Amino acid sequence: MLLLLSPAKSLDYDTPTDVAATAPKFSAEAAQLIELLRPLTPAQVAELMDLSDALATLNVARYAAWRRRATPANSKPALLAFNGDVYDGLAARTLGAEDLAWAQEHLVILSGLYGALRPLDALQPYRLEMGTRLANPRGRDLYAWWGDAIAQYLNQRQKVSARAPRPVVVNLASQEYFKAVDRSALKARVVDCVFEDWQRDAWRIVSFHAKRARGMMARWAIEQRCERPEQLTGFDSAGYAWDEAASGPDRLVFRRRSA
């Protein structure tokens, strides 16, 4: 079973780490995308990605600094570099070495630049969301660029065993990122996790809470060493509980009354 997460826009390269990084699978493809981005001016990047002038200037500098060879000086393990709501919920910096090793085999972070990352893969600073309409030799956007490559990668990563005889992908990513997984090429069963809060007399997906819950679910699965989606129904972090009546075979719904 593989768990899928989205990346984060915010990055943390200030907090030191002694965790050794691994090489991303799609480094060559990332380098080609960087070459498409490097000629762009801050104004062009701002328009392409709907960024402020300051963020556009920052990312133009990041593209210029990006190198084909990642080193401890210019990169950091992805799970420790991303720093958004999902990763606040996951709190990766407090995971032990055995937890990180398990996550390395069972967690995949989708990325507009890198395609798919293992938690410890070396990440250089960048901004390139999967939904960006960056024209490239393969089409008009990043979905065309990645094609079925991410799905094929997930197929290759799947391990089956007596306890987990069928390939399964647990989708904890956003719609923008999961859309990059070509379902027609994916061999695994897909299980979606949905997190809802009771607000204004109805169950609603509250973006901030749902993002944090995705990270908490990933951490819970890591700590529990979950191999089958049925095990995820035991998730109970931050007051969430599995709602069997609202769920289905491939859609696990978790609800809570108060944050």
Segment 98-124, tens digit of pLDDT: 999 999 999 999 999 999 999 999 999
Of 201, 192, 194, nearest in space to 257 by CA: 201
Segment 130-186, tens digit of pLDDT: 999 999 999 999 999 999 999 999 999 987 666 667 899 999 999 999 999 999 999
Q: Report the distance separating Cα 47 and Cα 59, nearest Å.
A: 13
Contact between residue 184 and residue 154 where contact means Cβ atoms under 8 Å apart: no
In the predicted model, is pLDDT for residue 259 greater than 70? no
Mean pLDDT across 48-52: 97
DSSP code at position 223: H
* pLDDT on residue 161: 66
* pLDDT on residue 164: 66
Residues paired with 82 in a beta bridge: 11
Contact between residue 132 and residue 141 where contact means Cβ atoms under 8 Å apart: yes
Contact between residue 83 and residue 8 where contact means Cβ atoms under 8 Å apart: yes
Count of Cβ atoms closer than 10 Å to residue 256 Cβ: 19
* pLDDT on residue 10: 96
Two structure tokens written together for 82: 């991303």
